[in-house]
Amino acid sequence: MALELSHITKTFRTGASEVCALEDCSFTVNDGEFVSLIGPSGCGKSTLLYIAAGLEEATSGTVMLDDRALRGPGKERGMVFQNYTLYPWLTVEQNIKFPFRLKANMDYARPNAVIMGEIEYAGHLLEIMGLAQFRNRYPRELSGGMKQRVAIARALTNKPRILLMDEPFGALDAQTREELQELMLLLGLYEKTTTLLVTHDIEEAIYLADRVIVLSARPGRILEEIIVPFPKDRLLDIKLTPEFLALKRRLVDLLHAGGRPSSGRAEILERLGQHFHATTASPVTTTTNQQHP
C-alpha cells in the first residue's frame, strides 16, 4: 500500500465561524493504482488532496506513505494543479529540470553519476510527454495542453511515490482533455505511476481509474468506493460502451443521493415562465430527474 489516509477530519476556523469540510475520511491508494476522487462542489475533495500532499493540516487523523507517518510536504509526493504553475522565465526543459537544480543547490557534492542520471531522466520525461521538440520554448509560447504536460513532467522529475492531481485538465478544451487523459493512462501502464486524482468529470474519473471514491456533500464523508472493472489498457472508445455508461449512471445517482445540489432547472423554468407569461404549452420538460446516459 502506498498512501493511507485514516479518519481525516478537517474544520476550517475563520474568526468566529467554523466550516467542517471533511468528516472521518479513510481510504488507501495501492502501489501502481490510479484512484479518482469525486464529489459535489465544495465537499472537500481538494482539501483532502492537500492534506495528502502536506499542504494543509488535518484537524484529526493521519496520513501514511509506505507505513511512514507524514507531516508537511515532501518530494515523494508530486503535485499537479489546474493552473499550470510553471516558471515563466524558464524554458520547458529548465522547468522540468528545476527540481534537480533545487537539489544541486542543497548538495554540491553530488557524484557525477547522479547528475548524469538526472540529465538522462529529464530527457526521458521530455520524450515520453511529447515535449522533446518544444524543449527550448517558454511557457507563454505553449498551448494549455502543452503547459500541463510540462507540469506533469516536472511533478514526475523527482520520481515521486505518488502523483497528486487537482482538476489537472479542468481548464482544457474537450479534445485536449482526452489527449491528456490517454497520456495519463499510458503513463500509468508504462511508468507504473501511483496516482490520486480529484476531478469534477465523472467520465474522466472512470476512464482513468482502477477505483473511484465518492464523497458526500459537505462535510465530505466517503459514500462508496467503486472498483472500475475495465482492463488497464482501455481505449477512449470505452466511454461509449453500455458498461461504461451504466457505471457513469451509478455514479451520477450516488452523487444525487449524497446530496449534490439540484441543477436549479425547475426554478429557472419557473422564472422564465413568469417573465414571458407563456400562453402555449411549454416546449421543455420540467422534471429535474430525467434519465441521462
Ligand X SMILES: Nc1ncnc2c1ncn2[C@@H]1O[C@H](COP(=O)(O)OP(=O)(O)OP(=O)(O)O)[C@@H](O)[C@H]1O
Could you give the CA distance from residue 127 to residue 125 in angstroms, rounded to a whole number?
5
Q: Which is nearer to ligand X, 46 or 95 (CB)?
A: 46
User: For 130, phi and psi rounded to 5 degrees?
Assistant: 70, 35
Where in 189-208 is the site for ligand X (CB under 6 A)? Answer: 200
- Choose among 142, 140, 141, 122: nearest CA to 132: 122
Q: What residue type is 165 in one-letter code?
A: M
Half-sphere exposure (Cβ direction) of 4: Cα atoms closer than 13 Å = 10
| Residue 14 within binding range of ligand X, rule CB under 6 A | yes
Closest distance to ligand X from the beta carbon of 41 (Å): 4
Q: Could you say which of 218, 223, 251, 258 contacts ligand X (CB under 6 A)?
A: 218
Residues 151/131, Cβ–Cβ less than 8 Å: no
Q: Which is nearer to ligand X, 129 or 213 (CB)?
A: 213
- Choose among 198, 197, 90, 82: nearest CA to 142: 90
Q: Which is nearer to ligand X, 21 or 131 (CB)?
A: 21
Closest distance to ligand X from the beta carbon of 153 (Å): 24
Q: Which is nearer to ligand X, 14 or 285 (CB)?
A: 14
Give the full edge-to-edge strand order of the sheet including 211-215: 77-80, 162-166, 195-198, 34-38, 211-215, 222-227
Q: Which is nearer to ligand X, 78 or 219 (CB)?
A: 219
Q: Which is nearer to ligand X, 90 or 171 (CB)?
A: 171
Could you give the CA distance from residue 243 to residue 230 in angstroms, rounded to a whole number?
9
Q: Could you say which of 6, 12, 104, 114 contacts ligand X (CB under 6 A)?
A: 12
Q: Could you say which of 21, 25, 153, 209 contacts ligand X (CB under 6 A)?
A: 21
HEC letters along 27-58: EEECCCCEEEEECCCCCCHHHHHHHHHCCCCC
DSSP 59: S
Choose the stretch contacting ligand X; rule: CB under 6 A; options: 34-42, 238-246, 251-259, 278-286. 34-42
Choose the stretch contacting ligand X; rule: CB under 6 A; options: 35-43, 132-140, 258-266, 278-286. 35-43
C-alpha dihedral (265, 266, 270, 276), degrees to nearest 10: 40
Closest distance to ligand X from the beta carbon of 112 (Å): 44
The size of the interface with ligand X (CB under 6 A), counted in residues, is: 14
Query: Mask: binding to ligand X, 37-76, rule CB under 6 A, as x and -?
Result: --x-xxxxxxx-----------------------------
| Residue 168 within binding range of ligand X, rule CB under 6 A | no
By the criterion CB under 6 A, which residues form the site for ligand X? 12, 14, 19, 21, 39, 41-47, 200, 218
